[in-house]
Amino acid sequence: MAKPVFTSKDATQLLVYAEQIFLKMTENADLFANPVPNLATLEMSLNAYREAYAEAIFRDKRAVILKAQQGEKLQDVIRRLSHYVEGVAGGDEAIIVAAGFRPSRSSHVSLGRTPKPENLRIEHIQVGSGKIRLRVNSWRPARLYQYEYRKKGMETWEYLMHTKSTLELGHLDMLEQYEFRVSYIGSDVMLNYSDIVTAWVI
């Protein structure tokens, strides 16, 4: 049964991993209602480690020691969070990945970096319905597909996580131009987006 991995190989990986966990658990708060420790504790520890990490770049001995101390504290927060996520997930790798953690093992062969999705295409389901169908080439090791969209000219992306390479998207504003992109979510929790596709909603 898969479990969340809470260890990191080095200081840089710890920083990246902690940031990823904080981002994904914040985005998917509906899946993780009452995390222990809470996300405010993770954010505080992450900020303290980020500052110590930046100070230690100059190789000041005291700064390096402080970075190590803050790193141990952050690692402890991640370890305790992993136990919470393990309880929520119950071995479900998709939920573990949604929390930003790496699963301890996978039924898929590890392929390293998640590939860039190819051939994202848009279909109008019915003129006047305001619905769009998104299709992308499937990737067998993908546990989830993260579809993102926004009105053209906007900065913030909205997103939906889905288990399939096809998604029907509704409730879009008619006669507006939207941008769409997608990323596979596999054993590598870092997102790798497709090219952006633009389409009018009609």
Nearest Cα residue to 77 out of 35, 32, 23, 33: 35
Residue 163, CA atoms < 13 Å, CB-side half-sphere: 4
pLDDT of residue 193: 94
- Angstrom distance (rounded) from CA 57 to CA 52: 9
- Write down the domain spans for the chain: 4-103, 121-200
Report pTM.
Answer: 0.53
Instruction: List all residues 6 or more positions away from 15 whose beta carbon is below 8 Å from its beta carbon.
Output: 49, 50, 53
Task: Kindly give the confidence (pLDDT) of every residue in the chain, 202 residues in length, as a single tens digit, with 9 standing for 90 and above.
Answer: 788 888 887 888 898 899 999 999 999 999 998 999 999 999 999 999 989 888 887 777 888 888 889 999 999 999 999 999 999 998 888 899 999 998 886 544 445 678 999 999 999 888 888 889 999 999 988 888 999 999 999 999 998 888 899 999 988 999 999 999 999 987 776 789 999 999 999 8
Instruction: List all residues 6 or more positions away from 61 whose beta carbon is below 8 Å from its beta carbon.
Output: none
pLDDT of residue 105: 62
Q: Token pair for residue 61?
A: 């001995």
Domain 121-200, CATH among 2.40.33.10, 2.60.40.10, 3.40.720.10, 3.40.190.10? 2.60.40.10
In contact, 149 and 177? CB cutoff 8 Å = no
Nearest Cα residue to 4 out of 72, 113, 85, 71: 85
- Residue 157 is classified by DSSP as P
What is the chain's alpha carbon radius of gyration, rounded to the nearest angstrom? 19
Q: Token pair for residue 149?
A: 């969209």
- Residue 110 is classified by DSSP as P
In contact, 197 and 181? CB cutoff 8 Å = yes
pLDDT of residue 127: 81
